Amino acid sequence: MPRSSPDLARSAMAVLQPGFDGTVPPAWLRRALGDGLGGVVLFARNLTGPARTAGLVAALRAENPAVVVAVDEEGGAVTRLEAGTGSSFPGNRALGVADDTGRTERVARAIGRLLAAADVTLDYAPVADVNADPANPVIGVRSFGPDPALASRHTAAWVRGLQGAGVAACAKHFPGHGDTVTDSHLALPTVHAAAGVLRERDLPPFRAAIEAGVRAVMCGHLLVPALDPDAPATLSRRILTGLLREELGFGGLLVTDAIEMRAVAALHPPGEIAVRALAAGADAICSGVSSPGGESVYALRDAIVEAVHAGRLPEERLAEAAARVLALAAWHAGRAGARSAAGRDGETGEAVGLEAARAAVRVTVPRPAGPDGAAPRAGGAAGNGASPRPRDTGVIGDDTPPPLQAPPFVVDLAPRPNPAADPAAPTGLLGALGESLPGTTGRTVTAGAPELPALPEDRPIVLTVHDAGRHPWVRELLAEAVRLRPDAIVVETGTPGEPVGAVYVATHGVSRASARVVARWLTGGK
């Protein structure tokens, strides 16, 4: 490590937010916290239940009481605390479809209660991106929707709800990841829109978050030539300081997305990314993957210290960034009363999540047909005569007869999960149907072996898909299955497409809450 003052080294440690392996703090992490490490990011691999999560956070705070403990808990597909079961709350697109900002605020407050119980400081949510391109491979239903006004009002509501529970919110991914067709986990996306379009479409939700008092913003690994043709947003002073700080007036913590993502990792080594991001205006460097002994964290520290000595990173800029990390920790410490009050408000997370998920489900069914005016029945034997057109779409109604009368065979056509989601997080419909109709069985089909299983002729068929419109192999198998069984029920958990099958259900997201709502409706439960 270069010769430096202890204060400079601690400032360099303060701006780092690494992840780690295991369910207890390893020795290197305890040592780093003692050396001034300012943040830690928790992933599903670290969390094994509410009590142990709270114990883990307490152990981190025992080494550094001011540590910023961060986590990705968006609801929907991106959950860390509930990765093993699926989230109790629908994600952003479901909330946007229902378009009730009061409900959005209650969902965020319930997520805040979940995090407050573990003493988490910072939630890397909400996603404030306007999903302008339906082919977007990484945002999709994580966004409130394609309309800037809708995304703005729900972003603000989400921030109010979460922070009202005493947990800091983080609007992401500035200046907007919605108009991309490249996944920044894999390569650097480019947003080709003109500056005027960006200001009218992508920036309003971030303005709304700032006006709502959001404590943090996460920048995206995006090349936005209309704003800076030379550097991705993470490394762009024009975007982070000129636009976010000076023009939009944001004064809180600015954190990077994970620097091991290929969008920036392909451009520079980790230490260089950290230095350039800090120089551009970032305050905290997120690194989700660390070496087993913590060497990578100390290498980042050393690169930052060396850049200060070389004059590439002003020491005042580093001190400013470290001060913002400490300011967020102080805000969290001062919100203990809000966290305690949120835990006593009497509203259960399960009830809030189910209500929100139910409000977002849309069902498309054939109109009544036939001489007696009866609607064709789904879920019976093949060839029941259900015509796919014309159709009516609406919300789930208590008076709607359940389509399933017997345990179904469920085929889950499952593309690669969103890289932001934990790979273990289940879609949940097979399990939820099994709870209501014992004897339910199924198969999962992936892109690695895209072959439709034999569909039993004597059982109802349920086909689950996610973003079928973006995956040709899913569309092909879905079409084949519906041709073989036109009475099949189709459940789309991503962005809806053209309705197919006898009953087409759109949940607008993946969550345990959404799966339970759909299963209860399909089987006649409430």
Q: Residues with catalytic annotation?
A: 185, 257
217-233: string of b/e by CB count within 10 Å (b at 16+)? bbbbbbbbeebbeebbb
Distance CA 301, CA 275 (A): 10
What residue type is assigned to position 417 of the chain? P
CA distance 20 to 165: 27
**Residue the block writes with tokens 């109790």:** 88
CA dist., res. 199 & res. 194, Å (int):
9
Concatenating the DSSP letter of every residue in 224-268 gives: BTTTBSSS-GGG-HIIIIIIIIIIT---SEEEEPPTTSHHHHTTS
CA 453 to chain centre: 31
Spatial separation of the C-alpha atoms in residues 267 and 259, rounded to whole Å: 11
Distance CA 429, CA 513 (A): 10
Given a contact cutoff of 8 angstroms between Cβ atoms, the answer to whether 47 and 53 are in contact is yes
Locate all alpha helices (DSSP H) within 310-444, ordered by sequence: 315-333, 336-342, 349-360, 429-436
Residue 65: Cβ within 10 Å count: 10
3-state secondary structure of 108: helix
Torsion angle of C-alpha atoms 421, 424, 426, 430, degrees rounded to 10? 150
Phi and psi dihedrals of 42, rounded to 5? -100, 140
Give kind and range of the element (H or E) at residue 506. Answer: strand 503-506
Residue with tokens 């079928």: 468
d(CA 258, CA 264): 9
Backbone angles phi, psi at 16, to 5 degrees: -100, 140
Q: Which residues contact 3 (CB under 8 A, 6 or more apart)?
A: none
**Three-class DSSP category at 481:** helix
Between CA 397 and CA 407 the distance in angstroms is 22
Cα distances (angstroms) measured from residue 306 to each of 12, 234, 250, 523? 10, 20, 29, 64
How does DSSP assign 285-303, residue by residue? EEES---TTSHHHHHHHHH
